[in-house]
Chains A and B, each alone.
Chain A
Amino acid sequence: MTSAQLPLESPPATPPPSGHHNHPEKWEWYHYFLYNVDHKVIGIQYLVTAFFFYLVAGLMALFMRAELATPNPDVLDPNVYNTLLTNHGTMMIFFWVVPAAIGGFGNYLVPLMIGAKDMAFPNLNAIAFWLNPIAGIFIGISFYFGGAQAGWTSYPPLSLVTNNLGQSFWILTLITVGTSSILGALNFLVTIYKLKIPDMRWDELPLFCWAMVATSLLALFSTPVLAIGLILLFFDINFGTGFFRPEMGGDVVVYQHLFWFYSHPAVYLMILPIFGVMSEIVSTHSRKPIFGYKAIAYSSLAICLVGLVVWVHHMFTSGTPAWMRMFFSIATLIVAVPTGVKVFSWVATLWGGKIRLVTPLLFAVGLLAMFVFGGLSGVTLGTPAFDLHAHDTYYVVGHFHYVLFGGSVFGLYGAIYHWFPKITGHMYNETLGRIHFGLTFIGTNLTFLPMHNLGLAGMPRRVALYDPQFEDLNKLCTYGSMILGVSILPFLINMIWSWGWGEPAPRNPWRALTLEWQTTSPPAIENFDEDPIVWAGPYDYGIDTQSFEEEELSVDEMLAEVGQEMK
C-alpha cells in the first residue's frame, strides 16, 4: 500500500467515505451552477461569471467607440452614453478584473500551490462568490432605472443630481462586491498563513501566493473605507443628510478622499495578482530560476504599503494644498521603485533563458511592454505640474487603459492559457492562441496609443460630443477597438472547442515546479490524490536539487581558496 506504486493518472478507486467528506467523486456540470464549497469550483464560477461581465462591458465600450467615431452625438443618446461610460468602468473593474484575478485565479490556485485541500473557510468562500451574482442583479436593476450616470467615480454633487434611483442601486452593487472582496481577502490570509504544507518554507512560497498576501492586505484595509464613503453618499441621496452638501456644512472633497483611499489601492488589487501570475509564467517558460525571488516577494508588500498613501494624486486639481501635493507626489513616484524592481527581475529572468514562446509567454511579454509604457505615463501623471494640465483628458484614459488592459487583462489572458490544461484537463489550441495574441496586441495599441495625443491636445474625457479637430485620431481609436472586439472570437472558439474536444493534458504539460502541477489535470476533488512533495523550490529550473555532491563552502573558505589561487 505504498504510494510509490500508484498509477499516477488513475483517480482514487474507492468511493468517497461518509462523514464530513460529503461529496461525489467528480463534479458534474450542474454542480458549477449551484452553491459549492470546493475552491476549484468557486474559482471556475468566478472566472466564468467575470468573463460574462467582461463581454457585456466590452460591448459597452464598442458602442461608446462607435459614438466617438464622429464629433457629434449621433449613435447614442447622451444620457445613454453617460450610463455606458459609468458602467463600462464599474463592470470592468468590479465585475471582471478584480473577481477574475483575485476570486478566480486566487481561489483556484492558492490552495493548490500551498498543497492544501481547500481554503480555510470553504463556506465563507462560497458566500463571497454568491454575493457577485447578487451584485449583478443589483446592477441590472440599476440599468432598469436608467443606470448610474455620474462616472465610475460618482463624485458628488454630480452623483447627487443625476438619476438618483439608478445611482442608489449602483451603490448597493458596489457595497455587495466590496463585502465579497473583504471576505475573500480574509480567507486568503488565513489560508496561506495556516494551511501551507509544513515542508514549504516561506521563501519557497510561490510568488503568486506572495502577491495574494499583499493583495489581500490591501483589500482588507481599503475596501471598508470605500464602503463608508458610498454609504454616506447613499444617505445623502435618499435620506437628506448633508455629508457632501456644502449648504449644510458638508464637503464634496471628503467623498473624494474616502473614494480614492480605496480606489487607488484598487489599481494595485487589479495588478498585484497579475504580477504574481507574471512571475509564474515568465520563470516556467524561460526554464530559468526567477531572478530576485525575495526582491519580487517583498516588492509586492512594499507596493501594498506605499500604495495606501498615494491616493491624493487623483485629487491634485481638487483644491489640494501644496504640501499635500508634494507629499503625495513623492509617495506616488516611490511606487515606481518596487514596480521597477519587478519589471527588471522579469527581464533578467527572460535574459538568456531557453524561451518557449507559447501563448502564455507571448501575453506575458506583451504585458511587460504595455505595462512599462503605462507605468511611465503614470509617472508623468504623478507629477502635479504635469497633472494639472492632463487631468480629466484622454491622456489619463490612455494611461489607465495601458496598465489595466495592457497590464491586467493581458495577464489574465496569459493566466487563462497557462493554467487552462490544469483547470480543464485539455490543451488549448496554440495557433488560435497566437492569433488571439496578435489581434489583441495590435488592437490595444491602436485603440489606446492615440488617446495620449488626444489628451495632450486637450480632448476632455467622459464626453460624447467633441471638437471636430480630434476626429481623425478618434477614428483610429475606433478602428482599434473593432480589432479588439474581433480578437475575442478566436479566444472564445479556442476556449469552448478545447474544453470540449482538445487534446487531453498530462499532469504537468509545462514541466513546472509549483505544487499544482503535481496533481491530476483537472485536480481531484480534494486536490491531491497523494500528498504533494516539495522536492524543489518553486523556480529551481535547471538546478539539480536532488544531489548534494559538492560540499558547501562558507564565504571565508571560498575567500581563502581564491586567495591561494591568486598566489
Chain B
Amino acid sequence: MTAIDVNDNTLNPSTATTAAAAHHEEHEDYRLLGLMIFLASESLMFIGLFVSYLIYRGAAAAWPPEETEVELLLPAINTIILVSSSFVIHMGDVAIKKNNVKEMRAWYLGTILMGLIFLGGQVYEYLSLGYGLGTNVFSSCFYVMTGFHGLHVFVGVLLMLGVLWRSRRPGHYHATKHTGVEMTEIYWHFVDVIWIILFLLLYILTLF
C-alpha cells in the first residue's frame, strides 16, 4: 500500500471535496495552454484561406470582378462593434478578478449583444448583396471566409452564454478561479483579430 492510497482512504467527505477541488485547481493552467495551442492550430485554417484568397487575387485581371463589388459602410460599423466588444469582454475579466461576479455577468451580456448585432449585420449584408456563392471566385471567397468567421463568432457567443449559465451558481467563478471566463475572453480576442485581417483583405484591399 502506498502512501497516497492511505491518504485517500482516510478522507472524510468534506476533505474529499476540497481534495477534488484542489485536483481541479491543478489542471487550470493546462486548459489555458491547451486553448492557446488549439487557437494556434485554428489560425492555420484562416491563414490557408487568406493565402488562397491572395493567390486568386494575384491571378485575376480585376479584383473584385465586375458586379461583385462590396459595400463598405455596414462592414465598417460592424468592425467597430466587434473591435470594441473586445474591450467590453476585457472589463468582464477585470470585474471577475475583483471577485465581482454580477458586474462580470453584465459585461459578458453586453459582449453577447454586440456579437449578435455583428452577426445580424452580417446576415443583413448577405441578403442585400446582389450576388451569391457561385457568381465567381471572389464571391465564393467572400461568403466562405466571412461565413467561416461568422461561425466562429457564433461559437464565441455560445461560449459566453455558457459562462453566464455557469456563473448563476454562486461561487462557481471567483477572483482566483475563473479559467472558463479567461478562456472565453482569449477566444473572443482571437475571433476579433481574425476579423481585422479579413476586413483588410476583403474590404480595404478591394478599394485599391
Contact = CB atoms under 8 A, between A and B. Distances in A.
Interface of A: 1, 3, 6, 12-14, 17-21, 120-121, 124, 182, 185-187, 189-190, 193-194, 220-225, 227-229, 231-232, 235, 239-243, 245, 248-251, 254, 257-258, 261, 529-531
B2 A186 contact: no
A475 B137 CA distance: 48
Interface of B is mostly: helix
B11 A3 contact: no
Contacts of A249: 56, 59-60, 65, 136-138
Contacts of A227: 45
A193 B52 CA distance: 34
A352 to B, nearest CB: 41
A254 B55 contact: yes
Interface stretch (B30-38, B83-91, B107-115, B170-178): B30-38
17 contacts: A3-B3, A6-B1, A17-B9, A18-B16, A20-B20, A21-B8, A121-B34, A185-B41, A240-B133, A241-B134, A241-B137, A243-B144, A248-B137, A249-B59, A249-B138, A250-B137, A529-B2
Contacts of B133: 235, 239-241
A228 B137 contact: no
Interface string B56-84: 10011000010000000000000000000
B134 A239 contact: yes
Contact of A190 (B11, B33, B45, B141): B33
Interface string B22-52: 0100010111011001101110110111001
B180 to A, nearest CB: 15
Top 7 closest pairs, chain A to chain B, by CB = A240-B134, A249-B137, A241-B140, A17-B8, A228-B48, A224-B44, A224-B45
A416 B165 CA distance: 47
A16 to B, nearest CB: 8
A221 B44 contact: yes
B65 A243 contact: no
Contacts of A241: 133-134, 137, 140, 143-144
Contacts of B148: 231
B48 A261 contact: yes
Given A120-B27, A220-B41, A241-B134, 19 more contacts: A3-B3, A13-B1, A14-B1, A17-B9, A18-B16, A19-B20, A182-B41, A189-B37, A193-B33, A194-B33, A220-B40, A228-B45, A228-B48, A228-B52, A240-B133, A241-B144, A242-B136, A251-B55, A257-B55
Nearest to A3: B2
B95 to A, nearest CB: 28
B205 interface: no
Contacts of A530: 2
A221 B41 contact: yes
B49 to A, nearest CB: 6
B54 to A, nearest CB: 10
Contacts of A187: 34
B30 A194 contact: yes
A518 to B, nearest CB: 13
Contacts of B6: 1
Nearest to B15: A19
Contact of B1 (A1, A120, A224, A239): A1
B136 A14 contact: no
Contacts of A531: 2
Interface of B: 1-3, 5-6, 8-9, 11, 16-17, 19-20, 23, 27, 29-31, 33-34, 37-38, 40-42, 44-45, 47-49, 52, 55-56, 59-60, 65, 133-134, 136-138, 140-141, 143-144, 148
Contact of A19 (B11, B37, B47, B137): B11
B30 A190 contact: yes
A19 B44 contact: no
With a 10 A CB-CB cut-off, give which of B19, B27, B59 has the most chain A CB atoms: B59
Nearest to A15: B9
Contacts of B2: 3, 6, 12, 529-531
A221 B44 CA distance: 6
Contacts of A245: 137
A254 B140 CA distance: 14
Nearest to B23: A20
Given A120-B30, A220-B40, A235 B140 contact: yes
A189 B47 CA distance: 22
Nearest to A219: B41
B136 A248 contact: yes
A241 to B, nearest CB: 4
Contacts of A240: 133-134
Nearest to B10: A17
Contacts of B55: 251, 254, 257
Contacts of A189: 37
A394 to B, nearest CB: 32
Contacts of A14: 1, 5, 9
A186 B38 contact: yes
A559 to B, nearest CB: 46
Contacts of B134: 239-242, 248
Nearest to B49: A228
Contact of B140 (A124, A186, A225, A243): A243
A120 B42 CA distance: 20
A186 B20 contact: no
A223 B42 CA distance: 10
A250 B56 contact: yes
B80 to A, nearest CB: 28
Contacts of A182: 38, 41
Nearest to A12: B5
Contacts of B45: 224-225, 227-228
B34 A190 contact: yes
B28 to A, nearest CB: 11
Contacts of A228: 45, 48-49, 52
Contacts of B1: 1, 6, 12-14
Contacts of A231: 144, 148
Nearest to B21: A20
With a 10 A CB-CB cut-off, give which of B2, B38, B59, B65 has the most chain A CB atoms: B2
Contacts of A21: 8
Nearest to B19: A19
Contacts of A529: 2
